[in-house]
Amino acid sequence: RTRRVTAPQITDRKGGEPIVCLTAYDAPTAEIIDPHCDLILVGDSVGMVVHGLPSTVGVTMDMMIMHGQAVMRGSRTAMVVVDLPFGSYEGRPETAFASASRVMMETGCQAVKIESGSYAAETIDYLVERGIPVMSHVGLRPQSMHVLGGFRARGRTQKVADEILQNAEAAAKAGSFAVVVEGVSAEIAERVTKAVDIPTIGIGASQNCDGQILVTPDMLGLFPRVPKFVHKYGQQRDQIDAAVRQYAEDVKARAFPKPENLYVFKD
């Protein structure tokens, strides 16, 4: 049994070698990415990229727990963080603690992530004080898409930039071990990274962060359309399409199963 990366080890990486993070939702993907990642996030993006939901708002605690368990089984050394889903933590800190402790106890993950508006500081302090490391998430907060009017980059105007900076500073002061910064300009990413003493993990937030994260199916090329900030490192959609096309052809031509795929009668 090897030891996993810990929350304090992630925090210690502030200003050092960039922190490598990706999302995972299942055991085999977790197993493949684990040796390359410092931190694996079981994101509520699972609702969109696995379950076909229109946003992350419909994701449930049961979904996060089931995917969290799978990722824990598949990974060995990376720190595993599970997103708290919409509706499970924004109210009273006691409610957030009930949700977060359930996620940690049932999955074995090491921390939770919450989207941090101005309301979040009290909750972060409450959770950390009671043994739950918290990663915060500022900038574009997908769970607030109905208030924001969609998934658009944030932090390109002064007013929004100040709000993002305040949320990040409050989240850091309240004890978050790291903060995800999503969908902001390079200037804002730099301001936030300089303002807080915890690592900033960017997604669509330039190189001015202490680490990076992407939604794994996006960077593997599983979808035809991805946000501008994603670089497609793979062509999974094309590979799956070509493989399945060949399989369909082989089945129709009786070219599959091949001789090596057959069980032989031994009697």
Greatest C-alpha distance within the chain:
80
Task: Give the whole-angstrom CA distance, residue 39 versus residue 52.
Answer: 25
Instruction: By CB under 6 A, tell whether 96 contacts ligand KIV.
Output: no
CA dist 240 and 245 (Å) reads 8
Among 5, 19, 22, 23, binds ligand KIV (CB under 6 A): 23
Of the residues 17, 122, 169, 182, only one is catalytic, namely 182
CA-wise closest residue to 49 among 218, 232, 227, 244: 218
Cα gap 136→252, rounded to integer Å: 52
**Which contiguous run of DSSP H or E holds residue 28?**
helix 27-33
Q: Least separation, in Å, of the C-beta of 252 and ligand KIV? A: 39
Interaction of residue 38 with ligand KIV, rule CB under 6 A: no
Q: Is 182 a catalytic residue?
A: yes
Query: Between 66 and 247, whose beta carbon lies closer to ligand KIV?
Result: 66
Q: Which of residues 191-230 bind ligand KIV (CB under 6 A)?
A: 203, 213, 215
The stretch among 37-45, 94-102, 125-133, 239-247 that binds ligand KIV (CB under 6 A) is 37-45
Residue 75 contacts residue 31 (beta carbons within 8 Å): yes
Cβ-closest residue to ligand KIV?
A: 43
The two tokens of residue 108 are: 């074995």
Q: Is 45 annotated as a binding residue?
A: yes
The stretch near ligand KIV (CB under 6 A) out of 1-9, 42-50, 69-77, 238-246 is 42-50
* Nearest distance from C-beta of residue 266 to ligand KIV, angstroms: 50
Nearer CB in complex with ligand KIV: 27/266: 27
In the complex with ligand KIV, the residue whose CB is nearer, 81 or 132, is 81
**Alpha-carbon distances of 177 from 51, 63, 174, 196, 227, rounded to whole Å:** 29, 25, 10, 11, 27
Least distance (Å) between residue 249 CB and ligand KIV: 36
The residue behind tokens 């090596």 is 260
> Is 109 among the residues that bind ligand KIV (CB under 6 A)?
no
When CB distances are held under 5 to 8 angstroms depending on the partner's kind, the choice from Na ion, ligand KIV, none that residue 88 binds is none
Q: How far is CA 125 from CA 41, 94, 197, 234, in A?
A: 21, 12, 16, 39
Residue 81 site contact among ligand KIV, Na ion, none (CB < 5 to 8 Å, cut-off depends on kind): none
55 carries a ligand binding annotation: no
Query: What is the residue-wise DSSP string for 30-90?
Result: HHHHGGG-SEEEE-TTHHHHTT--SSGGG--HHHHHHHHHHHHHH-SSSEEEEEPPTTSSS
Catalytic residues: 182
Interface positions with ligand KIV (CB under 6 A): 23, 41, 43-45, 83, 137, 180, 203, 213, 215
